[in-house]
A and B are shown apart, each in its own frame.
Chain A
Amino acid sequence: MSGFSRRWFLHASGLAFLALAVRRLAALGAPRPRDDVPWKVQQVLKQLFGDRPVQDGHVQLDVPTVAADGRVVPVMIESDLPMAAERYVKAVHLLVDNNPDIHLAEFRLTPQIGQAFVSTRIKMRMTSPVRAIVETSDGALWGAAADVRVTVNGCG
């Protein structure tokens, strides 16, 4: 009996709690893993890009953290990738996870555009991650995502 004293139990549970807390903290600091992309979004990505991986970086996505009106949410996508004749951003894709139509828009660009920058206004049904994916002429994919909290539904 002495091995399972109250003191032992308190120590053990305290340590276990501490271990869990440390893991939680570590997870908070770490970048979000790829596999947090919902299944339905993965299907859309697969349809658009096949098995090509989307890497993080080179894309700046500007969206509000809270959108008061889901019918008009401003979105700005910018990339520092070159727009030269031999290598340029050929498309900018906009995806909203929780919208009826996940692949919201595609902006096909040419070197004539000069700078990979697109700004528009979109509808959002509910709080959701918004994803911007940039496709270069040599097939590389770069992406960024941000969460937008929606207070008024914009899709019916």
Chain B
Amino acid sequence: MTIEVGAARVLVPTGIRRGDVIDVRALVEHPMATGLFRDARGNPIPAYFINDVSVTYGDREAAHFVWSSGISRDPFVEFSLRADREAPLTFTWKDNKGGVFTQTVDIKFVA
């Protein structure tokens, strides 16, 4: 199974009204290798995982996650957000090898 490391999706509901507490779901493709496994030839697979996630809403950080390699492959996270202004919601995932992946969705209100 091959994956495209860093390919990310952020999902927010449609039809948001000002002040709604909405559900945000985000997924990034990443092996999240613990460093404890070996491959078929017996060589250890080095640790390679996302350890830092930052979520900014407009110009402020709304949430920040610190992860170990214990989060499953292709890490998924879901949480709430109080949508009180129209602004971009940006995810930044960082891994232990210096990889940085970002994805943005615009929070927009229905008329």
Given A113-B62, A121-B72, A155-B36: A105 and B78 interface contact (C-beta under 8 Å): no
CA of A34 to CA of B32, assembled, Å? 33
In the complex, A119 has a CB within 8 A of chain B: yes
Instruction: Name the distance in Å between A132's Cβ and chain B's nearest Cβ.
Output: 14
Question: Which of A96, A108, A109, A155 interacts with B66 by CB under 8 Å?
Answer: A108
CB-CB contacts below 8 Å: A114-153 with B: 114-123
Q: Give the size range of A's interface with the partner.
A: 20 to 34
Report yes or no: A110 in contact with B63, Cβ–Cβ below 8 A.
Answer: yes
Q: Give the size range of B's interface with the partner.
A: 20 to 34
Report yes or no: B64 in contact with A108, Cβ–Cβ below 8 A.
Answer: yes
Report yes or no: B79 in contact with A117, Cβ–Cβ below 8 A.
Answer: yes
Query: Residue-by-residue, is B62-104 near A (CB-CB < 8 Å gives 1, otherwise 0)?
Result: 1111111111110111111110100000000000000000000
Report yes or no: B66 in contact with A123, Cβ–Cβ below 8 A.
Answer: no
Given A71-B73, A103-B68, A110-B63: A119 and B79 interface contact (C-beta under 8 Å): yes
Instruction: Name the distance in Å between B75's Cβ and chain A's nearest Cβ.
Output: 7
CA of A114 to CA of B60, assembled, Å? 15
Report B-chain residues with C-beta under 8 Å of the C-beta of A123: 32, 34, 69-72
Given A113-B80, A114-B82, A117-B79: A106 and B65 interface contact (C-beta under 8 Å): yes
Given A119-B78, A120-B78: A112 and B62 interface contact (C-beta under 8 Å): yes
Report yes or no: A105 in contact with B67, Cβ–Cβ below 8 A.
Answer: yes
CA of A2 to CA of B100, assembled, Å? 85
Instruction: Name the distance in Å between B84's Cβ and chain A's nearest Cβ.
Output: 8
Given A109-B63, A113-B63, A114-B82: A71 and B72 interface contact (C-beta under 8 Å): yes
Report yes or no: A105 in contact with B34, Cβ–Cβ below 8 A.
Answer: no
CB-CB contacts below 8 Å: A1-36 with B: none
In the complex, A49 has a CB within 8 A of chain B: no
Report yes or no: B70 in contact with A118, Cβ–Cβ below 8 A.
Answer: no
In the complex, A99 has a CB within 8 A of chain B: yes
Report yes or no: B71 in contact with A104, Cβ–Cβ below 8 A.
Answer: yes
Report yes or no: A122 in contact with B72, Cβ–Cβ below 8 A.
Answer: yes
Closest chain A residue, CB of each to CB of B80: A115
Instruction: Name the distance in Å between B33's Cβ and chain A's nearest Cβ.
Output: 9
Report yes or no: A119 in contact with B63, Cβ–Cβ below 8 A.
Answer: no
Further contacts, 15 of them, CB under 8 A, given A105-B70, A105-B71: A101-B68, A101-B69, A105-B68, A107-B65, A107-B79, A111-B82, A114-B21, A114-B81, A115-B21, A116-B80, A119-B79, A120-B75, A120-B76, A123-B34, A155-B36
